[in-house]
Amino acid sequence: SIPDLIPALTTAEQRAATSLKWRTHEKLLQKYACLPHIISSDQIYYRFLHRMLTIILTNNVLPVQKAAARTLCVYLRYNRKQEQRHEVIQKLIERKSYWNRLRFLDTCEFIMELFSKSFFCKYFFLPVLELTHDPVANVRMKLCYMLPKVKSTLKIPTDKHLLQQLELCIRKLLCQEKDKDVLTIVKRTVLELDISVDAFQKRFYESDLLDQEKERQEHLL
């Protein structure tokens, strides 16, 4: 029964977390992404969602963190309460350590995969761009790799102001970046972004239809 299932799943995850078998833990967290089809979003919020957040912020095994991040994004996708969703988004955005900022960018990749473009732009676009000023080169580097994908979430002319912010950040990176490796990636990304405008127009017709469906489902929740 469902009342017995929840404590059993919680115990199983705790045991996997304290074992030395991180692959078992990773696979278990991936399987937990199916829970929105079985139990209510309130049960997920109080029993599982915050646990995923804790794993993202404190676990030191990257595949485990990524599995928790993707499952957390699935939970957010099905969460029907705006205030709960906002609270989790704020916790994701308030990243203190550089390691957490890297995991925030991982989570953003899952948000782009699972949510509509407008959802990403509304909640995550500007917090992501803020990381162009990050003091840690590895964070700036990861962000630069992501910029073409981030740009693909924009709908022009609706998001013209966000496109201007993106272009401004890239200009600042080109002028001010002191790390040679990051600068190399910025220059490569600029070329990719220039090419991508036409490519996106042609290639993303089908993904636009998929995006419209995601947006429709978000409005229904």
Q: Which pLDDT belongs to residue 203? A: 53
Tokens 């953003």 sit at which residue? Answer: 108
Q: How far is CA 1 from CA 6, 42, 216, in A?
A: 9, 17, 33
Give the other-Cβ count within 10 Å of 110's Cβ.
18
Letter for the amino acid at 115?
F
> What pLDDT sits at residue 215?
83
pTM: 0.86
- Residue 96 has what pLDDT? 81
Residue 58: predicted pLDDT: 92
The pair phi, psi for residue 85, each rounded to 5°, is -60, -45
Average pLDDT, 10 consecutive residues per value, the chain (221 residues): 88 95 97 96 94 94 97 94 92 87 95 95 95 95 95 92 94 93 93 63 61 79 65
Q: Which helix (H) or strand (E) holds 195?
A: helix 180-203
Backbone CA torsion sign across 157, 161, 164, 165: negative
